């Protein structure tokens, strides 16, 4: 089912080499503020939302339009993927307001491929309160906020409590080491016939999760000097150990099922359907699993990923809300109002937080799923207290994550050519999971050379 407000996204094949340039500058904020007349704004929503989730969004749009009678909002289904975003950007098929990962922010800004709305953002009451480490993902070199951080995450280990129980495991005592993950995965596979552990491998997600595992063992895939120059550090013991671990789960234990071409959407689908015991992804995945994949809340559990070795840390990232470079001054002003209303006020204003939580809960959608704060811990804790009466997610099933994630060292994703580096690592993971005799040393050496070439072009 689709929202009555939803506009279909046309699939138009276009050359990836096309480049957009910004049609405006930060000075457009004054022009926008002075403009009169109605504005039509298209905003992104996740693809495949359940009817109740769409209804909740429609309710929020109605509230926004009541406050801003000169703005009409239409939704457009959109999910960022590394393999399709460039074509959407070049082809002009993106909505006026869309979201991208932290890793894309600086490049889009440097190339002028999103609107500079920094003057408009600077006028908002929360603009100076953003966690600086988070805010930088959407800033230019001078600290101007072109894109707004709306969510942050630290990777987590998601697990199916029902499969744990069926395998004779305690769902309240999830694994805390990689050896325990392996043992539990085999127990689940042997007892249930489902994949005890699964791994993303394509559309850049293979490199994303492999990098997560390398970080968790104390390694890195890039080293960045003070002058911003990046050096590839792929050929390391930690990389080889991470791949050998996956090889053993797949070929020695037969605990990874039969699908070795998962991306983010498909692994969420199979996990929600009870086909996967454990997988690694962003710690805030519960909303997607529930609203887009109809997961039974009783099945869900999440814990922190094991950190082992010196300098180990958890990969963290997040999401930016950006405005199309083709948006007019009036559309930019409307877009920033929408970003403030829909994403940010609920984090900083008690009345807005309660209204959002009540509207969401009344539509049967999840309220209170854990995520990392984009302001500070005190602001996050206060916001959680405002919405406590509306929280409807199984928080007690998430405590292995929420009790420990703030104590884990948070490491940023590779800072240069992030998605290209991830793409170069995808086939490495695929090969290890599909070829029993894969030469890990050679695969890693080849990946090192590929990443060196990528970084040399930057």
What 8-state DSSP symbol labels residue 256? S
Residue with tokens 């983010």: 264
Cα separations (Å) of 256 from 19, 199, 235, 307, 427? 41, 8, 25, 21, 17
Residue 154 contacts residue 314 (beta carbons within 8 Å):
yes
| Alpha helices (H) in 14-75, listed in sequence order | 28-34, 51-67
> What is the model's pLDDT at position 393?
97
Positive or negative: CA dihedral 184, 236, 203, 21: positive
Instruction: Give the other-Cβ count within 10 Å of 457's Cβ.
Output: 7
Counted residue by residue, the chain has a size of 458
Question: How far is it, in rounded angstroms, from Cα 431 to Cα 201?
Answer: 10
To 10 degrees, the CA torsion angle through 389, 394, 396, 401?
Answer: -110
What 8-state DSSP symbol labels residue 281? E
Print pLDDT tens along the chain (458 aa).
Answer: 333 333 333 322 223 222 223 333 344 444 444 356 899 999 999 999 989 999 999 999 999 999 999 999 999 999 998 888 999 999 999 999 999 999 899 999 999 999 999 999 999 999 999 998 899 999 999 999 999 999 999 999 999 999 999 999 999 999 999 999 999 999 999 999 999 999 999 999 999 999 999 999 999 999 999 888 999 999 999 999 999 999 999 999 999 999 999 999 999 999 999 999 999 999 999 999 999 999 999 999 999 999 998 999 999 999 999 999 999 999 999 999 999 999 999 999 999 999 999 999 999 999 999 889 999 888 999 999 999 999 999 999 999 999 999 899 999 999 999 999 999 999 999 999 999 999 999 999 999 999 999 999 99
Closest CA to 322 of 135, 114, 144: 114
> What is the model's pLDDT at position 32?
41
Residue 145 contacts residue 115 (beta carbons within 8 Å):
no
Angle subtended by helix axes 418-434 and 102-110, to nearest 10: 140
Joined together, the tokens standing for residue 436 give 């029993």
Cα separations (Å) of 58 from 51, 141, 166, 345, 378? 10, 37, 40, 17, 31
Residue 372 contacts residue 71 (beta carbons within 8 Å):
no
Positive or negative: CA dihedral 114, 117, 122, 127: negative
Residue 429 contacts residue 201 (beta carbons within 8 Å):
yes
Q: Are strands 230-232 and 222-224 parallel, antiparallel or unpaired?
A: antiparallel
> What is the model's pLDDT at position 36?
64
Cα separations (Å) of 346 from 294, 310, 334, 359? 25, 38, 18, 12
For 373, what's the count of Cα atoms within 13 Å in the CB-facing half-sphere? 18
SS3 394: coil
SS3 151: strand
Write down all domains in the chain, each with its CATH number in brackets.
39-152+317-361 (3.40.190.10), 154-315+390-456 (3.40.190.10)
Residue 288 contacts residue 45 (beta carbons within 8 Å):
no
What 8-state DSSP symbol labels residue 221? S
Enter the pTM of the model: 0.84
Q: Give 5-20 as a DSSP string.
A: TEEPPP-----TT---
Q: Are strands 6-7 and 71-77 parallel, antiparallel or unpaired?
A: parallel
Joined together, the tokens standing for residue 41 give 């704004």
């Amino acid at each position: 089912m689709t929202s009555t407000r939803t506009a279909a996204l046309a699939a138009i094949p276009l050359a990836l080499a096309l480049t957009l340039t910004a049609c405006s500058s930060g000075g457009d904020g004054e022009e926008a503020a002075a403009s009169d007349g109605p504005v039509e704004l298209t905003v992104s929503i996740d693809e495949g939302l359940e009817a109740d989730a769409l209804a909740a969004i429609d309710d929020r749009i109605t509230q926004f339009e009541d406050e801003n009678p000169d703005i009409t909002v239409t939704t457009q289904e959109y999910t960022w993927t590394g393999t399709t975003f460039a074509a959407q950007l070049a082809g002009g098929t993106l909505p006026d307001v869309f979201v991208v990962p932290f890793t894309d922010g600086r490049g889009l800004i440097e190339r002028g491929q999103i609107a500079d709305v920094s003057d408009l953002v600077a006028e908002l009451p929360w603009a100076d309160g953003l966690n600086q480490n988070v805010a930088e993902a959407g800033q230019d070199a001078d600290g101007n906020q072109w894109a707004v951080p709306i969510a942050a995450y630290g990777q987590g280990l998601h697990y199916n409590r029902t499969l744990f129980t069926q395998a004779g495991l305690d769902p309240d005592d999830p694994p805390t080491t990689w050896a325990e993950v392996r043992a539990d995965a085999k127990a689940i596979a042997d007892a249930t016939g489902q994949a005890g552990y699964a791994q993303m491998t394509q559309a850049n997600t293979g490199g994303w999760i492999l990098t997560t595992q390398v970080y968790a063992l104390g390694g890195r895939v890039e080293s960045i000097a003070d002058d911003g120059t990046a050096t590839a550090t792929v050929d390391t013991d930690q990389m080889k150990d991470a791949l050998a671990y996956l090889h053993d789960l797949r070929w020695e234990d037969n605990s990874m099922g039969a699908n070795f071409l998962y991306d983010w959407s498909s692994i969420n689908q199979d996990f929600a359907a009870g086909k996967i015991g454990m997988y690694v992804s962003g710690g805030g995945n519960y909303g997607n699993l529930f609203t887009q994949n109809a997961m039974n809340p009783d099945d869900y559990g999440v814990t922190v990923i094991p950190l082992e070795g010196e300098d180990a840390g958890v990969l963290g990232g997040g999401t930016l809300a950006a405005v199309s470079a083709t948006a007019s001054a009036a559309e930019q002003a409307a877009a920033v109002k929408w970003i403030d209303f829909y994403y940010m006020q609920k984090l900083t204003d008690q009345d807005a937080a309660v209204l959002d939580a009540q509207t969401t809960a009344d539509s049967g959608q999840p309220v209170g799923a854990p995520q990392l704060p984009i302001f500070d811990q005190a602001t996050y804790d206060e916001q959680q207290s405002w919405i406590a009466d509306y929280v409807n997610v199984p928080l007690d099933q998430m405590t292995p994550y929420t009790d420990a994630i703030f104590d884990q060292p948070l490491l940023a994703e590779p800072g240069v050519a992030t998605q290209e580096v991830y793409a170069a690592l995808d086939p490495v993971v695929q090969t290890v999971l599909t070829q029993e005799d894969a030469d890990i040393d050679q695969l890693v050496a080849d990946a090192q050379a590929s990443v060196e070439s990528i970084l040399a072009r930057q």
